[in-house]
Amino acid sequence: MAKKPSKLATGCVIITTIIAATILFVGYPFHSPTALKISFVAFTNDATSSFLAVFTVTNESSKNITFEPCKPQLKKQNVWSKLDFSGGDMTNIPAHTNVTFTIPLITNCEAWREPVFWAYDSTPSKIENIRGNIKANLYFNWLRISRGGWPRYYNGIYSTAEDHTIFSPEITNNPVK
């Protein structure tokens, strides 16, 4: 009689461990979408041009990242302009380092911000690909089921190239005129 409760308890512990491991495997972020940070440093006056805005981009991850400063996004009548990815040159930034860049100061709007387009240099590992396929299949099958469809397996649905965009803090018109 005493063996039945211990088998039941052992079974519950095993099932709970499997569920917890699955949740951690699917939910743990290998690549973080917040690994790159941008911050506004200051305004400067270059001898060859007018005022410039100085920004610092910091790679907080343990992997190399490639980033590209985009054209600034303008805010007019409380609406942001369309994002334009044709901006600067692609730049590599090693893990745990930062890079500083400048852009001409924007004065023809209420406020503006500097977008940065970035991606990891390295390709995801096999575990990250498997995890990504599981997450993508769960998501797309949830959509199929919620719309009355049957679930199916999507092979290779996970994109290995995860691109991200971050924005600097909003900068109001230059007070130094």
What's the pLDDT band for 29 if we cut at 50, 70, 90?
A: low
Residue 124: the pLDDT is 64
pLDDT in tens, 82-113: 888 776 678 888 888 999 988 888 878 888 99
Q: What is the DSSP string of 83-117?
A: P----S--EEE-TT-EEEEEEEPP-SSSEEE-EEE
Domains of the chain: 28-122+161-177 (2.60.40.1470), 124-159 (no CATH)
Q: How do the residues of the chain divide into helix, strand and coil, expressed in percent and rounded to 5?
A: 25, 30, 40
Residue 35: the pLDDT is 80
Task: Tell me the average pLDDT of the chain.
Answer: 79
Instruction: Tell which wins on pLDDT, 134 or 25.
Output: 134
